[in-house]
Structures are given as C-alpha cells and as structure tokens.
Structure 1
Amino acid sequence: MARKQPAGIRPDEPTAIGRRVLQLRTERGLTQRQLAEPAYTPAYISTLESGKVRPSEAALRHVAAQLGVSPEELATGRPAHLAADLRLRLTDARHALATGAPEDAAALFRSLRAETVEHRLPDEEASALLGLGDCLLETGDLTEARQCFGEVERLLANEPLTRRVPAVRGRAAAHRLGGELRYACYLLETTLDELNASGLHDPDALLLLYTASIAPYLDMGARVRAGRAAELALALAPQVDDPVLLAGMHRGVARTHIAQGRIAEADASLTKAQELYQQLHIRTDLAHCHWMRGYVHAQHGDLERAESELCTARAMLAAKRAALFTEQVEVELADVLRRRGKTQEAEELLRPLLTAQSPDTGSLRTGRGAVHAGAAHRLLGLIDEQRGDDPAAEEHYRAALPLLEAADAAGDVADLCRLLGDLLRRAGRVEEALDTYRTGLGHRATPGTTTLGPVPASPPM
C-alpha cells in the first residue's frame, strides 16, 4: 500500500524518507539499535528519521533489507512493482475501451491517472491521459479530449518527438471531428515534416501520422494528398508489426480507394482491417468498417445492402455508447433511407440530432460533428424540397453552408451551393442563384489546395 506524504513534501526528500523509515520501524516493533546494527549506529538512524540526512545507496539498501521492503519503495514511497502493475491495469483499461462503453473505460483511466500523479510516474500518466482522450473522442467530449492530448504532449516535451506522435494524432482527430479540418491537417503535416527533418525515421510513428491524415484530406476534397498519404502508409507497412496500426492503415487506404472509385481494392482493404479488428476485439473500429461498407454500397446504388451495413454499424456503436460516432452514422443511414423512399424514418433520425439540447447530451452542432451537422441540414432540405416546401428547404441549406465552410469541406460546400442555387433559380431569384453558384465553383475549382500549405516531405524509405 502506498504511503501518502504531507502536502508540499516530495516523496524522495530526506524528510519524507525519514518519516517512512520511522513509520515502518514502528510498525515492525524494531528499536533504532536493531534497525542500525551491525553496520550503523542508533544515532545515525535517529538523524535519518528526523530528515536531517539523505541516506547513501548502501545505507538505503541496509535499512530497506532490515525493514523488509525494496530500496525503491523506501526511497520514493512507491510500492514495489507499482509501475509494472499500473501498466498492466492500463492495458486492461484499453481492453475495456475496445470492448465496452467509453464512459466506463474513462472512469478507469481517470482513476489510474490519479495514481500516476500521486506517485510521480509521468510515462504512465501520459498513457492514462492518451486512453482517456480516446474515450472522450468516442463520447464526443472534444474539448476535454484536446486538453488530454495536449497534456500528454506537455508531459513528454523532453522526450523524442516519436513519443508524442500518438497525442498529436489524437489532438488532430479531435479537431477534425469538431469540423476544424484545416488545423487537423496542419498538426499532422508539421509533425511529419519535423520527424523527417530530424531524421527520426520511426515507421510506427510515420504510419500513424500518414493514416491519420487521410480522413481530413478527403473531407477537404484534397484527394491527391490523401492518395499520396495512402501510398506512403502502404510503403511503410512492411516495417510495422503493430496490428492496431496496420488495421487502421488498411481502413484509411480503403477510404482513398472509395474516393477513387476503386471498389474492389477498397473491399480488399476493408476485409483486411475487419479481420484484424475482429482478432483484436476492437468493436468501435470494427463498426467503422461496417460503416464504410455501407457507404460503398450506397455510392453504387445497392441501397438495401447499404442500409443493412449502416444499421449494423449503428447498433454496434450505440451498444458501446459511442455517442458522437452513433450520431454521425445515423446521418448517413438517413440518406440511404431517404433514397429508398423511407422519408419519415429518415426525418425521425435527423431531427433529434439537430435539436438544441443541453451541453452534456448528444446533438450535432458547431464544434461537435460540424460536417455531419451540415449533412443533416442538407438531407432535411432535400426532403423539404421533395414535398414542395421550398422555404423550409432553403432554411436548411443556409444553415448547412456556414458549418461546411467553417470546416473547409470544399466538395460538400460545392454540392450544397448547387442545390441552393437551383432552388433560388427556380424561384426567380437569379442574381442570388448566380452568387451561390460562384461560391460553389470557387470551392470546386481547387478543392483542398487553397487552405493547405506545401506538401510535407516524404520520409526516406
């Protein structure tokens, strides 16, 4: 059991060590003479217990042996094997996140983080914060997630950059989910450049960063960059043994194949990802694979299979209480339902997502799933147009536009401007329609290139 120190006293200070020696000696019923002999004097033990002297390594070993504890526990106040035990429990918490609800896993990570702070174990604290940040991504608490990942970067500031890469990836993911696509790309690209410039050719770190950059690139319409990131990830894969990284890579590569219309290749990549996630029992990522398969089927008109895959993904995510991802997949499911003529079911999914709710409950809005919030408004606009309610449709299109523009989702903005322009033109509002078309063309002309800097340097292979 850990022995707490009074506030303001470091566990490794002479005063703290002396108090531990006194407490342990008293618990064991030893006199100062019994503890001291044969190598030291009772006076030395008295001086040690009063905190007036720091014990040498030899003295520490002698006193620890007499008291039946490890020298490390005596010197630091940490129970023997504490760090190893914490690492095992962190692994258990990761498993809880993979297979269960993120709120439950978050409670484990918070408790573990408190222990690491108490015992001044920064590496283990960083691991606990990384796990907590990943839990918060699933629940949609994006502000707190960013704070967790930022704290990891601070804790590891003096470590090699490769140690901080998972935290950078997490922070970029939080910004992307919040609709800050350009900043997510900036974080990933600058880290890639720094890694490559420093000569830190760490395949695991590079694979994680290239894989993470695919999604925001595609959301911005920067398909060339997404394709290049996928090529580099595939080239790095033979040097990587971590199955979690490889599964994520296959899923990211599948996204680029989908964007390029290469369905057979996308299916092959998704199959590899699914096999790994099933072996690893990572249910959230497995649900994402079903989600992507649903998207593929929807893009190619197989709406029945699309609905089946998206319903599977939704059920898996809802069972894990992954609130934000559940809401996002519901938007895509609503699109498929609308296209299948199930308009009422689509509306029943969409309208609750956009209802203003308390900050602690799930609703898509600016700062939390802005791209999908824009998509939800777009779908409701299409439904209103279909029933002939053009004013309501225009209201939804105009609500979607700033969300998608703020997220730099160029392709989605262009498509929305086309819909809104057509609606305005039919209403005889030609000048407004022309302005809207021009806005859309401006985003379509150079998708993703006007807001991104130079392409990051390629790593030495």
Structure 2
Amino acid sequence: MAEATATDVAGAGVGSPAGADLPEESLGERIRRLRVDRGLTQQQIAEPRYTRAYLGAVESGTRTPSAPALAYIADRLGVPVDDLRFGRPAGAVADLTAQLAAARRALSAGGLDVAERALADIRRRADHYHLAEVSGWARYYTAEVHLHRGEASAAAQGYDQLAADLPDGAPALYAAVLARQSYCQLVDGNAPRAVAILSDGLRVLRSAPPVDPDAELRLTNALMYTFLELSWRYQARRLEREAIALLPRVTQGEWVAQFYAIAGQLRRDGELDEVERYLAEAGRRYAELGLTREIALCHWARGYVLRRAGRPGAAAAELQRAREILRTVGAVLDHAGATLELAEARRREGALDEAGRLAEEAAGTAAQCRHREAMAEADRVLGLVRAAKGDHDDARRLLSRAIERYEQAGLMGDVVVTCRHLGDLLREQGRTRDAAAVLRRGLRAGERLR
C-alpha cells in the first residue's frame, strides 16, 4: 500500500491552505462585520433592550459587553454566542473534526509527516477558536505519530502532558489518553502499573453517571488487551461480556472495531470459526474507516491465534501479510511485534535460520525503542532457535535473560512458558537439579497469575 502523499491528504481536507492566516479582528469589529453582512442597522440589533449608542460603543471598542449583552447581540445576529465571542466561522467544529479524521487516516496509512503538519495546524486553529477538546485530540494524535514511529518515550511524554491538561467534559478523550498511558507502561516493562491506570480510570469514569459508553468501551478494550498480554483470560472474557452490552450505544466506530479485534484473540483453539467472524468484522469496520495499519493488526491477530492453535504455516502467511503492511506504513513497534510472532511460527515449522534472522531483526528494533516485552520475546525465540541448533550454552543464556525480563515486566504467563522451555533444555542435558530449580520458579510465577 502506498504511503499517503501531501496531495492526497490535502484533497481529503486536512489542514488549511498554505499561508492561510487566522482572522485578526476585535470583538467589536466582528459584531460590526456580521451586522453589515446581514444588512442590519445598529438600532435594529440593539433595540429594544439596548440603545443604538451602546452598540456603537461596543463596535468601536470603547465598551465591553457583559455576558448577557453579548448573548443578546449574538441572538440578534443569529450566531452561537461562543462563535461570536471567539470569532469562530460557521461550522468550525465540524470542519476541524473532519480534518482530524483525515489526519487520522493519513497517520494510519504512513503519511506521518503530512499528518503531523496537519495536526499542528488543527491545534493552532482550535486554540485560536477556544475549542479545547478539538485541540486535545490534535495533541493526542500528535503523540500517536511518535508512537507509530517507535518513539515511545516522546509519545509517553505527549500523553502525560495532555493528561495533566485535559479539558472538562471530554470523556472519550480522557479514555483514549489513559489507554495510551497504560500501553506505554507495558512497552516500558511495567505491566502492574498499566493495569492500575486502566482499573482506576474505569472506576473514576463509572463513579459519575451517566457514563459515556465510548469512553467506557475504550478503557474496557485496553484492559482486555492488557489482561490478554498477562495471560489473564478469565478476567478478559468477563470484560468482553461487559463490552458487548456497550456496543449498541457506542458512536466511535474505530473503538467498536478494536473490540472485535481484541475479543477475537480471546477465543480458544476450538473456536477458530468464531475467531474468523470477530476478526473479519474488525477488518471490515477498519476498511470502512480507511485505517490501513489497523487492518494489518487484524492479520497479526489472526496469525497469533492460528499459531497457538498449532497451525504455524497458516499463521505465517497472515503474519507475513501483517509485516508487509506494517513496514509500508512505518509502524515500527507493531512491525517488530509481528516479526517476532512470524519468527516463532517459522521456528515451529523448522525454518530455524529464517526464524533466527527475523528474531534478530526484531531484537534490534526492540532494543532501540526500549520495548521490554519485545526484547524478552526476542530472547526467547532466539534461545529456542539456538537450542534446536545444538548451541546449548547460548540457548541457556538467552532463555535465562528472557525469564528475567519477563519477570521484571510483570508478565508472569510468559515467565511460566519460558521456565518450562529452559527446564526442558536443562533436563535434556542431564542437569536435573538446575531444571527443577527453574521449573519451581515457573510454578511460583504461575501462582501469581490470577
């Protein structure tokens, strides 16, 4: 898929024309311009509540209208009072919201520079027109650009700064920011903190009814995903049931698609028909929204499930497709994750050299981006490849380091799996005492799973 170009995005309505300036006029000048445009006299606007002289003083700037007076004048001019107060053109919110959606599509398609410029312009205009929520969304998607590039620290800083300055009455934005703050904690290797952010956020959201269904679904999706990462499937399935009840009331189509993509990965090996139904629905919705990266994530999710169902060949085909799209759109962290999943699928097929090359590639990206879970996963795959090739010393080193990294990140399900692999390797070498110690470590980790 080709990267979005500046021409493509401009045609979609992102940002303002080059060189366009925001209007610079006083409140009085704005009132006079609107009055003249409507062919009305000062007396027609002012009376019966105010005098022509009072309106003349307001237009000249020698008088500042009170809030009731400004509301009266706005009503007489037939414009919303905040549009008059801040100089908003008609339809400013709708226009900027449409531009945000176009920038979102450009971001997903890999047009990162174009999206970033458009978002800066949207934010500038939203700030000028005192549209705090629109400005907040522009800041949010700017942080998303950083995350897409693999700049996790810069993205986390952007989300944190926005969280400290969230506008009132924007629950969906609140939920989106919390979900991303939690994800950045996962990337940084702090799964317990990731869970706490989402659990606390849901509790706060639900404590003040009526609860916004979009915000509740976004946080529920994020917590489902985090539970899946932690191997807490029972808790994730419970959240899935709660989310299903929300779907008919949700307006954010992307978050509905996201629900289907995450829930599809919760199906068991014997539920592949249901997996396909969920992921096909997610892919269909993402396609309707024009979100390229997210379609690739559906291929990744399908490969994830197929690999765990013992079908590495079918999994590899899906994961290769995901990898190609993610490389094209420049989604650095996602590309590394799909690459690791593909490496494991190819290892299970016996393609050890290819699996090793893929894991080494992903390990480099993970280390550069400080993605701690991916670093651990790369160690595990490489350790298993080394073990299959007979390099037992290097295999033990890599698997031991993977266990340490998973444990530090709080990913106990992966600790259990990796301890089993290392224990098997040690037992094959006749090191039964060492194997028993590693397996006991895995058992202790298993006890920490909920």
**What is the TM-score of this pair, normalised by structure 1?**
0.78
Q: How far apart in 2 are the matches of 1:82 and 1:433?
A: 66
Q: How far apart in 1 are the matches of 2:319 and 2:127?
A: 42
Cα distance, 1:75–1:277 mapped onto 2, change above 3 Å: closer
Confirm or deny that 1:129 pairs with 2:149.
no
Which segments of 5 or more consecutive residues in structure 2 lack a partner in the other structure? 1-20, 34-50
Give the match for residue 421 of structure 1: 423
Give the match for residue 372 of structure 1: 374
Give the match for residue 221 of structure 1: 231
Give the match for residue 435 of structure 1: 437
Give the match for residue 117 of structure 1: 127
Deviation at 1:138, TM superposition (A): 2.4
Deviations 1:93-123 (A, max 9, x none): 1222233434432332233223333444312
Give the match for residue 98 of structure 1: 108
Q: How far apart in 2 are the matches of 1:364 and 1:279?
A: 32
Deviation at 1:311, TM superposition (A): 0.9
Alignment of 1:80-99 (within 5 A): 81-99=91-109
Q: How far apart in 2 are the matches of 1:60 and 1:231?
A: 47
Q: How far apart in 1 are the matches of 2:64 and 2:169?
A: 29
Cα distance, 1:391–1:103 mapped onto 2, change above 3 Å: farther
Give the match for residue 22 of structure 2: 2
Give the match for residue 354 of structure 1: 363
1:152 and 1:164 in contact (8 A); partners too: no
Q: How far apart in 2 are the matches of 1:79 and 1:102?
A: 28
Which segments of 5 or more consecutive residues in structure 1 lack a partner in the other structure? 6-15, 25-38, 356-362, 450-461
2:267 and 2:275 in contact (8 A); partners too: yes
2:267 is paired with a residue whose SS is helix
Q: Report the count of equivalent residues.
A: 417
Q: How far apart in 2 are the matches of 1:419 and 1:219?
A: 19
2:205 and 2:211 in contact (8 A); partners too: yes
Give the match for residue 308 of structure 1: 317
Give the match for residue 181 of structure 1: 191
Matching residue's letter, 1:93:
A
Deviation at 1:439, TM superposition (A): 1.4
Q: How far apart in 2 are the matches of 1:239 and 1:121?
A: 25
Identity of matched residues, %: 28
2:96 is paired with a residue whose SS is helix
2:264 and 2:279 in contact (8 A); partners too: yes
Q: How far apart in 2 are the matches of 1:200 and 1:41?
A: 47
Give the match for residue 27 of structure 1: none
Q: How far apart in 1 are the matches of 2:352 and 2:322?
A: 21
What is the Cα-based RMSD across aligned positions, in Å?
3.7
Give the match for residue 341 of structure 2: 332
Cα distance, 1:261–1:142 mapped onto 2, change above 3 Å: farther
Matching residue's letter, 1:144:
A
Q: How far apart in 2 are the matches of 1:306 and 1:103?
A: 33
2:171 and 2:212 in contact (8 A); partners too: no
Alignment of 1:145-224 (within 5 A): 145-156=155-166, 158-159=168-169, 161=171, 164-224=174-234
Q: How far apart in 1 are the matches of 2:421 and 2:158?
A: 40
Matching residue's letter, 1:227:
R
Cα distance, 1:212–1:72 mapped onto 2, change above 3 Å: closer
Cα distance, 1:83–1:384 mapped onto 2, change above 3 Å: same
Deviation at 1:52, TM superposition (A): 5.9
Deviations 1:366-402 (A, max 9, x none): 9743222211111111111112111211221132223
Confirm or deny that 1:385 pairs with 2:390.
no
Give the match for residue 143 of structure 1: 153
Give the match for residue 406 of structure 2: 404
Q: How far apart in 2 are the matches of 1:279 and 1:70?
A: 34
Deviation at 1:60, TM superposition (A): 11
Deviation at 1:58, TM superposition (A): 6.5
Q: 2:258 aligns with which of 241, 248, 252?
A: 248
1:130 and 1:152 in contact (8 A); partners too: yes
1:106 and 1:136 in contact (8 A); partners too: no
Deviates more, 1:260-269 or 1:381-390: 260-269
Matching residue's letter, 2:22:
A
**What is the TM-score of this pair, normalised by structure 2?**
0.80
